[in-house]
Structure 1
Amino acid sequence: MPIVRVAINIPVDTLFDYQTVDATPDDIGLRVSVPFGKKKVVGIIIAISDTTRINTGKLKPVCSIYRETKPLPASLLELFRFCSEYYHHPLGMVILNSLPAAMRCNKAIQIKKTASNLSFELTPAGKQIDRSVIPARNRVARRLFSAFLESAALTETQIKQISPRANQWLPEWLHRGWIAAKQAPADTSATVTGSIPILTAEQAAAVNAITAGLQQFNIWLLYGITGSGKTEVYLRTIESVLAQGKQTLVLIPEINLTPQLEKIFRSRFAATPIVSLHSGLNDSERLSGWMQAQSGAAKIILGTRLAVFTPLPDLGLIIVDEEQDSSFKQQDGLRYSARDMAIFRARQHAVTVILGSATPSLESYYNALNGRYHTLRLQSRAVRNAGLPSIHLIDTRIHKMQDGLTEPLINAIGRCLIEKNQSLIFINRRGYAPVLLCKSCGWSAACQRCSSRLVVHLRDKQLSCHHCGHQESFPRACPHCGNQDLAPFGQGTQRVEDALTSNFPAARILRIDRDSTRRKNAWHDMLQAIHGHQIDILIGTQLLSKGHDFPNLALVGIVSADNSLYSTDFRASERLFTQLMQVAGRAGRAQIAGTVLIQTEFPNHPLYQALQHHDYDGLAQILLSERKAAGFPPYVFQALLRGEAHDLNPVLNFLHQAIKLAKPPEAVELFDPVPAQMHRLKGLERAQLLIQSTSRKQLQAFLTEWCAQIHALTNHKVRWTLDVDPLEF
């Protein structure tokens, strides 16, 4: 009796053996229902064998094998294995959590019948038939036969349009030989619709370079300034891929970018099947898109990070847009990097991967300098006569702020309104103010579950924690001294909105943040209003900072950017520059000249100087030299062992025990355990220890052995995770 080895969605990194009578090698990769403990669970068949190390008398039988879908391909299972080994996460959890929710349920999937790709036509014998042989009472049949006489062929959809009951005559007529069925060829052409822009010389060179090596593994870093037309390079390259009948996977960092990009792709490739995969879909929508991709029917797949695990039988190209974005790194559960998985998958299939960015991550920039990645530069804007915005610094030591806004910024907004252009005020903090302060005793409202302050939401009269979601009513008086003069301190999007409404009462103002976009279709409606020139002033967070094209936007004002300069995170400068460069790039993308005003106390800071001159290369060289001197990535490889519990002491004790078990080679260094930067989150105390090495291979070998030893520690009070290549500390 065959033995099937099954991966199950449990936090144990092992496969489980079961007996079955009807398994074949073709079943590897299929879903299977198996008994586990006192319940039945769903798993994935990883291997089939004639032998097992378990006593066969103790093996349980498989309950059922679900064959209504195709098995996961061997290449995808190999990707899962690599991901499991590299990030030290159980294989079953890696596989099952990558599947649509409907496939994680322990039951057969009900696949909705869709219109087939069949068409029907009269045979020579059918053309000789006289219409009178069909009884006059069968009016539907007569109408159908007349339609066949008038058309060369009819599809199932066309037949249903004649009558919902018309298709019931097809089996009989096929049997009699009156009609014949044939498979209509799938439309995989690169037919494009709409106006197609003329490529700039830089764009044409990039397209030619990429398409010349499409059928082999290459990593291209498409390094183009904002507005340089990276999307057009993607579209032209995809045309070549479609012409070969291949599929393209396009990964984007934010769900909010999906509708806009999908609209661009659908307008360009109207005849090409396109699916979107992201968390905004319901279970049935995600399953439908996933299965279209798995069957090869969908030729362009747009998705956020989880889409990197979608089965694609005809993969020809992978694009990672805004590759520097930290959203590509999962921050809980399986802490994988979708960008890095995309590169591994491209190598697997011997296809090209494009990493697009206006400000590449320092890791990618470093790899390009070392020749691991090929670099393509787009240094001018794609729209004729559209130049980079001019960036000016407003010294807040000289120009005092009123409600977070300086007089030069207010005057610039006023001029924009007179000229009937749009303005964007960027502040990456939602709510009214980040702190509620008692002026008498210095008390500030803090979250009891997190080591952070509660944010003031004045309109809702609520204090809210943006980390755990805890909310409290607005206090009438200070709980420490009873003083009723409580004041919000600092600025958020709501406070800036109030200040702008006060200064420009006739202006049409729109605030865009996580609070204002919660309603379904709110984001879509807001975009339509912006493009329809129904908005004069935008106030937004990072939701607006990348990927959007607002032709009428002439002014960008940046408020409270200095906060990131105080961060202890060594990546803070890189992230701030990227964010500001992205939001500055929203201005002046068409015929309107763009201006960016940044309010800062440190106008001479190297970061702002580089930003003012659009000099990412200069800043990158400074940051790389600092990282090399300090021994930070990309010059070393890191992992972070995190622990959390209701008390801090058990966590620190656990981490000290883990260090005692470690026997690192000379190239691997372990640091002492320390409380996390946010030491309390959602009611749990957190601590961590850092592991780093100049050798990725030696670090991985050490982590594999060490993780097995840590699993043996019996400390049920502490929940721990290992984060390889961490982005957040």
Structure 2
Amino acid sequence: MGAFKPYKKIWPLLANLYLESRAYTEYGTTREKEEMQTTERHAPYGTVRVAVDVPFAGEGIFDYHLPPSLEGEVKIGSRLLVPLSSRQVEGYAVEVIPVDDRAHLKDIIAVLDEAPPLTPELIALARHIAGETGASLYRALLAMVPTFLKSKRREIIVWSAESMPLIVLPEEEALLLYVKKRGRVPKARLVQIFPDALETIARFEQMGWLKTDYELFDRSRSKQQKAVRLVSDAENKMEREKLRGVKQRAVIEALLGASDRTMMQDELFEKTGATHATLQSLVARELIIIDTINTYRRPEIASTFVQSAPHVLNTWQARALDTLMEGFQRGGDQPYVLHGVTGSGKTEVYMAFVERILNAGKNALILVPEISLTPQMVARFTGRFGESVAVLHSALSDGERYDEWRRIRQGEARVVVGARSAIFAPLSDIGAIIIDEEHEASYKQEEMPRYHAHRVAMWRARHHRAVLVLGSATPLLETYAYALAGRYQLIELPERANRRPLPEVRLIDLKKTAQTYPLLSEPLKAAISERLMRGEQTILLLNRRGFASVLMCRACGHTIGCPHCDVTLTYHRGEEKLLCHYCGYNEPYPERCPRCHAPHLRPLGVGTERMEETLKTAFPEARILRMDRDTTSRKGKHEELLGAFHAGEADILLGTQMIAKGLDFPKVTLVGVMLADMGLFVNDFRAAERTFQLITQVSGRAGRGTLPGEVIVQTYHPEHPSLRLAERGDYQTFVRQELERRKAAHYPPFYRLALIKMAHRDPAKVKTWLSEVTETLRAHVKQDTEVIGPAPAERLRLRDRYHYHTLIKYRHEQAMSELIARVFQPYLDVWRKHAVEVSLDIDPYTL
């Protein structure tokens, strides 16, 4: 197969691309300014600017005086405890001003860490993110630190009288004496000890005997262990001491045979049967020393690995590596798009490139889209690079994540593999940033700050002069368009690494095909049976969890909905409950209809839980694994399920989109898409693209070994262009058609988008406020900017709040977030008073 040849018809479409990536190659003055801002500085004296969390207060930056007692301890990036109004809050030092204004400023109370958790580079990056997203600087900074480094606030009950009140009830007296004796007691502790604590506290606060204070408590703790080591002249002392105890001699012999004559205390106990008393006796005889040392809590998958050797690259992979190394030599002058078919060996190219980067003295950062991908990716990178790999993703415990972060911060890890937030890893000397499956929606943060990992990666790559690699079999349409236009450099891997053909894809029209079971057509059923007979494996994708999406009464037609949201409740049979997937509301499965009280409730729709039951009935001999949010909520379940399937302990893997990409199982020869129409007709300009990507990605799980693969896609709309083109694997035609549609409708990559969202319990008020904001905005934007709305969100009511939004399409607005912030300014006090939820999303991924 030759190189991909972009259609000539695509080129005229690219003339009006939004000039988003121009800044990528503009170093010069801009870069020098950034370097000046990110130079690490101690604060010898004077004023420190601190970013704190203050809603509706602009950037939330306040000046504080640096007292003499803290001179030399505060640096840019230090986490501080500072006074704000009547409370103490956490903040981050973002600037040092050599002006001593102690007469007008409050003192910094404390420095919370020995070393700053944020580097000067990350402080500058946070300013950039805050400016792009409209978030406060503190919120941008907070997104960069692990959970363990985020202090929690707790209420403290303080004794504030000279003597006890004259008349109190016995139970009240006990609580008051408890507080009086200690002076300050956490409120939570009082609630645990005294049954009526809340009422008692409220009463005596009003009378003046008690008051509530607030304090921050730090959760960052290193894991400590005991290490036992022999003293330098232990052999000479042993001759004099003449040890007679069997366990004492066993301890000495074990330490003599250990590296550096040192062993961890727990390991020593297990190996020798010694006890604490045994060790204390040896300490008293000055034969051993017991040290307390800090250790790392390593994720199991990163600490247990099998060393692997590099594969020999094929011609296409070798060309790709050469191109990336040329970019590295040029100082990462532009992003690179690694567009390779599924199974083309993109990961092997990543690892070969990282190896070259490490040999050049630089470090590497690799992002994967979801935690389901991380086990296989981590296993491959640790197999190649060993202990130098650190892992960062949400499935780790707080302690594991904190310790991996410490290893990176202290320069002990040179390769970081993780999900979206790993883009903020405090890695220095970065030579390569790789975003695998770059098209994935999970790279966009949906909470404030609403950053996209792409744009953050571009900033960091520019700062470090590193190579940014965007890899995918189905690149984001914007990414591919920029590559075709020459903004990014396109690298192609047009064939599978093992030269096996791509799997055959078949569309099955569910309207015309018999189904013995719901969503299990006869062709798919026959194909699964064939794989079971041959001892091969099958992957089935159904992108909806639960047993049934609707519970309907056959007597009156009533469907049971969430009382807080405009959605129906999903039936989860395993727990016999109805659950809202938006707000978490749940209720027991009802015996009768809540409207007409008839006992004729019927589950409608199919989720993964129901499909698992169907498969067990249809294939009683099959071993089936289900992988969705319900089955992977416990720590380590992703690794456990994927490991079991890889080891051949199951015949069928059924799951949601977490199984659709990046996984490599050589024995999988059949992939079934149970219903391709999900998500195809939602009100979102990316719906067709997402469907094409999902089908192409999950199809790529079949036939990756030596056996041929087959893909069966079930649908009620086989005529849809996205499905037809995915069936043929025709990415080029899909790109051309989708670009034509987006250009006509003024969507990315030809226009940028901004989305203002507003929510409140009163729908009339929220619509009025958003209408005023929208009209003000219309009066201040450029002529070719479109302001659409306000309009109700697709789901109007969620969590008892009514949601409306306004969409802005623009090309020439240079500072959209700043303009919207100015429009918001007159309303901030009113919105705060009425608890209005307002958000701004620049470049939203979903509408």
* Length-normalised TM-score, structure 1: 0.88
Cα displacement (A) at 1:468: 1.5
**In the alignment, which of 36, 44, 52 is matched to residue 8 of structure 1?**
52
Whether 2:820 is the aligned partner of 1:723: answer: no
Partner secondary structure for residue 363 of structure 1: helix
Give 2:389's aligned residue.
Answer: 274
Give 1:355's aligned residue.
Answer: 470
**Structure 2 counterparts to residues 99-498 of structure 1, below 5 A:** 99-105=145-151, 106=216, 109-112=220-223, 136-137=240-241, 154=260, 193-215=307-329, 216-217=331-332, 218-270=334-386, 272-384=387-499, 386-402=500-516, 403-498=518-613
Contact 2:134 2:818 in 1 (8 A): no
Runs (4 or more) in structure 1 with deviation over 4 Å come to 106-116, 119-122, 129-135, 138-151, 153-172, 712-715
Q: CA RMSD in A?
A: 3.3
Partner secondary structure for residue 502 of structure 2: coil
Q: Provide the C-alpha distance between the structure 1 equivalents of 2:741 and 2:375, rounded to a whole number of angstroms.
A: 39
Contact 1:433 1:489 in 2 (8 A): yes
Pick closer, same or farther for the CA change 1:652–1:158 going to 2, 3 Å: closer
Bigger CA drift: 705-714 or 57-66? 705-714
Give 2:822's aligned residue.
Answer: 705
Whether 2:114 is the aligned partner of 1:68: answer: yes
Contact 2:230 2:288 in 1 (8 A): no
Q: Provide the C-alpha distance between the structure 2 equivalents of 1:167 and 1:353, rounded to a whole number of angstroms.
A: 59
**Residues 494-513 of structure 1: CA distance to partner in whole angstroms, max 9, x if unpaired?**
22222222221111122221
Give 2:30's aligned residue.
Answer: none
Q: Provide the C-alpha distance between the structure 2 equivalents of 1:531 and 1:694, rounded to a whole number of angstroms.
A: 48
Give 1:549's aligned residue.
Answer: 664
**Residues 530-552 of structure 1: CA distance to partner in whole angstroms, max 9, x if unpaired?**
11212112221112111111111
Cα displacement (A) at 1:642: 0.6
Contact 2:577 2:589 in 1 (8 A): yes
Q: Provide the C-alpha distance between the structure 1 equivalents of 2:255 and 2:683, rounded to a whole number of angstroms.
A: 74
Q: Provide the C-alpha distance between the structure 2 equivalents of 1:158 and 1:112, rounded to a whole number of angstroms.
A: 13
Give 1:575's aligned residue.
Answer: 690
Pick closer, same or farther for the CA change 1:462–1:314 going to 2, 3 Å: same
Give 2:20's aligned residue.
Answer: none
Pick closer, same or farther for the CA change 1:130–1:353 going to 2, 3 Å: closer
Aligned AA for 2:733? G
Cα displacement (A) at 1:231: 0.7
**In the alignment, which of 30, 38, 43 is matched to residue 86 of structure 2?**
38
Q: Provide the C-alpha distance between the structure 1 equivalents of 2:283 and 2:820, rounded to a whole number of angstroms.
A: 65
Cα displacement (A) at 1:104: 2.1
Cα displacement (A) at 1:240: 0.9
Cα displacement (A) at 1:602: 2.5
Pick closer, same or farther for the CA change 1:110–1:25 going to 2, 3 Å: closer
Cα displacement (A) at 1:282: 2.3
Contact 1:317 1:353 in 2 (8 A): yes
Pick closer, same or farther for the CA change 1:167–1:252 going to 2, 3 Å: farther
Cα displacement (A) at 1:193: 3.8
**Residues 587-624 of structure 1: CA distance to partner in whole angstroms, max 9, x if unpaired?**
11101111011112222322122111111121111111
Bigger CA drift: 559-568 or 621-630? 559-568
Aligned AA for 1:678? R
Cα displacement (A) at 1:57: 3.5
Query: Where does the alignment leave 5 or more consecutive residues of structure 1 unmatched?
Result: 123-128, 173-190
Bigger CA drift: 632-641 or 705-714? 705-714
Cα displacement (A) at 1:150: 11
Q: Provide the C-alpha distance between the structure 1 equivalents of 2:253 and 2:623, rounded to a whole number of angstroms.
A: 59
Aligned AA for 1:137? E
Q: Provide the C-alpha distance between the structure 2 equivalents of 1:383 and 1:409, rounded to a whole number of angstroms.
A: 27
Give the count of matched residue pairs. 698
Partner secondary structure for residue 574 of structure 1: helix
**In the alignment, which of 624, 646, 664 is matched to residue 739 of structure 2?**
624
Pick closer, same or farther for the CA change 1:658–1:158 going to 2, 3 Å: closer
Cα displacement (A) at 1:194: 2.4
Contact 1:392 1:612 in 2 (8 A): yes
Contact 1:5 1:15 in 2 (8 A): yes
Cα displacement (A) at 1:714: 4.7
Contact 1:134 1:142 in 2 (8 A): no
Cα displacement (A) at 1:523: 2.5
Partner secondary structure for residue 720 of structure 1: strand
**In the alignment, which of 90, 98, 114 is matched to residue 144 of structure 2?**
98
Give 2:751's aligned residue.
Answer: 636
Bigger CA drift: 68-77 or 155-164? 155-164
Q: Provide the C-alpha distance between the structure 2 equivalents of 1:155 and 1:243, rounded to a whole number of angstroms.
A: 33
Cα displacement (A) at 1:400: 2.7
Q: Provide the C-alpha distance between the structure 2 equivalents of 1:100 and 1:539, rounded to a whole number of angstroms.
A: 33
Pick closer, same or farther for the CA change 1:67–1:433 going to 2, 3 Å: closer
Aligned AA for 1:295? Q
Contact 2:134 2:817 in 1 (8 A): no
Partner secondary structure for residue 88 of structure 2: strand
Cα displacement (A) at 1:111: 4.2
Query: Where does the alignment leave 5 or more consecutive residues of structure 2 unmatched?
Result: 1-44, 152-215, 273-278, 290-304
Give 1:175's aligned residue.
Answer: none
Pick closer, same or farther for the CA change 1:546–1:697 going to 2, 3 Å: same
**In the alignment, which of 801, 804, 820 is matched to residue 687 of structure 1?**
804
Contact 2:82 2:90 in 1 (8 A): yes
Q: Provide the C-alpha distance between the structure 1 equivalents of 2:773 and 2:284, rounded to a whole number of angstroms.
A: 68
Q: Provide the C-alpha distance between the structure 2 equivalents of 1:46 and 1:137, rounded to a whole number of angstroms.
A: 59
* Length-normalised TM-score, structure 2: 0.77
Cα displacement (A) at 1:138: 9.0
Bigger CA drift: 712-721 or 305-314? 712-721
Contact 1:553 1:586 in 2 (8 A): yes
Whether 2:764 is the aligned partner of 1:649: answer: yes
Whether 2:135 is the aligned partner of 1:21: answer: no
Give 1:126's aligned residue.
Answer: none
Cα displacement (A) at 1:26: 6.5
